[in-house]
Amino acid sequence: MQKILVARPIFPDVIERLKQYFEVDWNNGDVLGNDELLARLADKDGALTAGEPIGAATFAAAPRLRVVANMAVGYNNFDMAAFNAAYVLGTNTPDVLNESTADFGWALMMATARRIAESEHWLRAGHWKKWNYDSFLGADVYGSTLGVIGMGRIGQALARRARGFDMRVIYHNRSRVAPQIEAELNAQYVSKEDLLKRADHVVLVLPYSAASHHTIGAAELALMKPTATLTNIARGGIVDDAALAVALRDGRIAAAGLDVYEGEPSVNPALLTVPNVVLTPHIASATETTRRAMANLAADNLIAGLGEGPRAGRPPNPVNPDVLGKARS
């Protein structure tokens, strides 16, 4: 029987599914350090991960490893050049989290625009003694301009929500989406600089890569309106968190909502000192229905990728399909 490592705690019923096909080593505790991860992968044929870094050192330590299934849409934790060089298959879990992530992104943007977290903290601290006309004046969402950077599945889901708020939608992407999608969403393609200058609310939903590192830095923040908000539900590293903290402190933009961070779970200490930021711990996909779907899709990818089950050899979501059917080098 083939052996796999499940590197993070996941739903026990998904573990039972995997046990039908594999000998399962399940880490149901804290995140594994790199040395322990490599040690536990040494005799494994496959792995189910949720952000652990996987690359050439992994494959050198785990000569039998043939499939790594990431329980996430993003797979910036994978060194794809190393995957391809070793003929190791990587997979991800797209689509199943589109709507729940878009819901959360919308909620985070709304909370940011209307200063919900800031006002709640103020109330809990016992400061509310009377009503004032100018208490916690925020920004309107209805009728404003939404700027989406990254018009993939989740970006499009956000744009659909904007229709109910009578918002103008502008977007920037590596390439324009199809004309029929633009028409359906009533979305206008613009340059990144134009988007930053015009948008009242900027939402980031682009994948992380070396090319997208610090897509939003000090120069980009300087282009935004001082009344604008920035929401990041994409990946840490897309925003220069240190530059954002300075912009928030100095009032260069009105507020920010962040679900992801550079070097998470660590958060830049400067972000903890400014009141005009809403901080959440990478929970955009955190509904039970969605997380179950992600876990089961990752399991489907691993089962099929290792040649088991009804889809043997045809995993649903390969990110480097060219290695399918090729022997591990």
Q: Which residues are catalytic?
A: 235, 264, 282
The sign of the torsion formed by the CA atoms of 279, 281, 107, 188 equals positive
Which H or E run includes 3? strand 3-6
**Cα gap 89→46, rounded to integer Å:** 9
**Cα gap 241→247, rounded to integer Å:** 10
Burial 122-143 (b: 16+ CB within 10 A, else e): eeeeeeeeeeeeeeeebbebee
**Cα gap 65→47, rounded to integer Å:** 8
Joined together, the tokens standing for residue 30 give 């804290």
* Beta bridge mates, 272: none
Laid out side by side, the sheet with 89-91 consists of 23-26, 3-6, 46-49, 67-70, 89-91
